[in-house]
Amino acid sequence: MAEEAPFIRVRGLEQKFGSQHVLRGVDLEVRRGETLVLLGGSGGGKSVLVKHFPGLLRPWKGTVEIDGEDISGLDERQLAPYRKKVGIMFQNGALFDSMTVGENIAFPLREAGVKDRKEIASRISEALEIVRLPGQEKKMPSELSGGMRKRVALARAVVGRPDCVLYDEPHAGLDPITADSIDHLIKDLQKEQGITNVVITHEMRSVFHIADRIVFLQEGRVYWTGGPEELRTTTDPVLKPFIEGDSGEAWN
């Protein structure tokens, strides 16, 4: 049987901001239904890379295919269906503090033009169930713990029933137990909803909990790709200090 086409295929992707050449020819595939973790040094272009997947950034050079379609040259209107396929949980959760939890979660639906109030209410409730925060619609973000805010941000990423979710440092600022609960949600989404996950994290403990495959970015290119076992036992001089530089819990 022919192998299924990847959900995301990136070819020769280059991105520049002024004279800063951030991505220098990234080739990458994200398989359907896998959890792919993106690793790399700070400022190496991980966030910039994933922002191309829902078309928030356009390639300077190269192509990005989502679900078999090259989205590189699409305009805002043509991008809308692809934005629906790819949910994004932004760095720091980025909730609107003046809106309730429910209004925050509804935001992408309203942006997409959904108007039916019953439909919106039922989607909010579905998303809150998924992130294990049922019935919290009326709360304000200021009433929530850091972990709960992350889960609301995740509910907002899944409310449009995407095929793929991008997580930009979902563990940042969380204690290990709360970080574990985020890892469980990420894996549950993959197993129960068949969602393809792309996770940027610096938490090596989480990498070994959740990754099916790992891609390491270095100097704007893919430096290494492999599975968690290969990473754990690597002797690569670039990867080894990067992994060991963490808490060491990765080896437990």
Distance in Å, CB of 61 to ligand ATP, minimum: 16
How far apart are the C-alpha atoms of 55 and 33, rounded to whole Å?
20
How far apart are the C-alpha atoms of 77 and 80, rounded to whole Å?
6
Binding pattern to ligand ATP, positions 129-158, x when CB under 6 A? ------------------------------
Distance in Å, CB of 200 to ligand ATP, minimum: 6
90/107 with CB nearer ligand ATP: 90
How far apart are the C-alpha atoms of 135 and 220, rounded to whole Å?
43
Task: Tell me the number of residues near ligand ATP by CB under 6 A.
Answer: 10
65/168 with CB nearer ligand ATP: 168
39/144 with CB nearer ligand ATP: 39
Selection from 251, 250, 249, 222 nearest residue 238 by Cα: 222
DSSP state for residue 250 in the 8-state scheme: G
Distance in Å, CB of 22 to ligand ATP, minimum: 4
How far apart are the C-alpha atoms of 197 and 51, rounded to whole Å?
14
Helix axes 101-111, 146-158, angle to 10 degrees: 30
Residue 88 φ/ψ region, left for φ over 0, alpha for ψ in the -120 to 50 degree band, beta for the rest: beta
First to last CA, the chain: 38
Distance in Å, CB of 186 to ligand ATP, minimum: 18
Distance in Å, CB of 116 to ligand ATP, minimum: 35
Token match 């009326």: residue?
A: 138
How far is CA 124 from each of CA 9, 90, 101, 152, 199, rounded to the nearest angstrom? 31, 18, 9, 10, 23
33/41 with CB nearer ligand ATP: 41
Distance in Å, CB of 87 to ligand ATP, minimum: 18
Site for ligand ATP in 5-64 (CB under 6 A): 17, 22, 40, 42-48
91/193 with CB nearer ligand ATP: 91
For position 251 contacting ligand ATP by CB under 6 A, the verdict is: no
How far apart are the C-alpha atoms of 140 and 97, rounded to whole Å?
7
22/231 with CB nearer ligand ATP: 22
Residues of this chain that bind ligand ATP (CB under 6 A)? 17, 22, 40, 42-48
